[in-house]
């Protein structure tokens, strides 16, 4: 799909706009522990960003589907205890509002859904700048498959050649490469810059505040409002 003059700014949420990756790590670690599974937190951290069911399979391999479902459910219950105090990353709301004010269609692309997505949106507190969002409920396959990004582009009628995706994991970058969109990585999720670049990031920033400060250069600057 190629676009006209519209532009889309696509954003992962956990670790990109909200400081929540390490909360996920602890909740997944505890859910695994409750099931008698001992998985190093470093391995859990590197898996964050995958859809829940895929994350469990990635860590444990194919196995007992009932056990995997119990772990997935336990993670959700544990993580829900943080809903009323999820922290947005510095500059997240300002970045979204600046892009919306400059004419970008701002779309959230996340594997969160339902009450979890509602809590994340409350934390960001910038619904006035967000055009649309796509969640786990809207796609059959999550990142690193490109379907979530493709769905996001469909929602706003913008082509891949007129879009930039911002994410914090290698799964984000791989999905963006496959979707054919420009790619910005952030370090706020705890993944090293080298890993993000190896997965396809064209530019890497500390977090949303630094993305905002750098809008005049890099992938965002290469897409003028006129379409060229």
pTM of the full structure: 0.94
> Are residues 129 and 194 both part of a single domain?
yes
Is residue 228 scored above 80 in pLDDT? no
Cis peptide before 143 (omega within 30 of 0): no
Question: Average of pLDDT values for 9-22?
Answer: 98
Question: Average of pLDDT values for 52-77?
Answer: 94
Query: Which of 81, 104, 127 is a domain's end point?
Result: 81
Which range marks the domain in which residue 162 is found?
Answer: 8-19+87-221
Query: Which of 60, 81, 102 is a domain's end point?
Result: 81
Calpha distance 37→29 (Å, rounded): 9
Q: pLDDT digit string (tens) for 109-140?
A: 999 989 999 999 999 999 999 999 999 889 99
Q: pLDDT digit string (tens) for 176-223?
A: 999 999 999 999 999 999 999 999 999 999 999 999 999 999 999 999
Domain count, the chain: 2
Query: Which of 34, 49, 81 is a domain's end point?
Result: 81
Residue 139's nearest CA partner among 154, 155, 151 is 151
Is residue 4 scored above 80 in pLDDT? no
Q: Exposed, middle or buried, 56 (CB in 10 Å: 0-12/13-18/19+)?
A: buried
Asked whether residue 228 is assigned to any structural domain, the reply reads no
pLDDT band at 63 (very low <50, low <70, confident <90, very high): confident
Q: pLDDT digit string (tens) for 82-113?
A: 999 999 999 999 999 999 999 999 999 999 98
> Are residues 171 and 77 both part of a single domain?
no
Task: State the DSSP code for 164.
Answer: E
Calpha distance 141→147 (Å, rounded): 6
Confirm if 12 and 168 have CB atoms less than 8 A apart: yes
Q: What is the pLDDT of residue 42?
A: 97
Q: Which residue has the higher pLDDT, 64 or 196?
A: 196
* Number of alpha carbons in the 13 Å side-chain half-sphere of residue 224: 3
Question: Average of pLDDT values for 67-76?
Answer: 96
């Amino acid at each position: 799909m190629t676009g006209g003059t519209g532009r889309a700014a696509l954003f992962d949420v956990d670790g990109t706009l909200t400081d929540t990756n390490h909360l996920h790590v602890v909740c997944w670690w505890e859910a695994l522990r409750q099931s008698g599974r001992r998985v190093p937190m470093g391995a859990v951290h590197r898996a964050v960003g995958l859809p829940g069911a895929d994350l469990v399979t990635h860590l444990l391999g194919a196995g007992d589907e009932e056990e995997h479902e119990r772990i997935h459910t336990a993670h959700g219950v544990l993580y829900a205890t943080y809903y009323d105090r999820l922290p947005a990353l510095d500059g997240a709301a300002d970045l979204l509002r600046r892009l919306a004010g400059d004419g970008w269609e701002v779309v959230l692309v996340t594997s969160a859904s339902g009450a979890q997505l509602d809590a994340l949106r409350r934390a960001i507190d910038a619904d006035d700048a967000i055009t649309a969002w796509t969640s786990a409920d809207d796609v059959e396959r999550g990142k690193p498959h490109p379907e979530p990004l493709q769905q996001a582009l469909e929602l706003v009628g913008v082509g891949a050649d007129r879009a930039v995706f911002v994410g914090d994991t290698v799964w984000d970058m791989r999905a963006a490469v496959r979707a054919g969109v420009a790619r910005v990585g952030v370090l706020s999720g705890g993944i090293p810059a080298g890993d993000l670049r190896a997965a396809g990031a064209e530019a890497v920033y500390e977090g949303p505040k630094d993305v905002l400060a750098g809008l005049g250069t890099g992938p965002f600057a290469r897409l003028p409002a006129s379409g060229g």
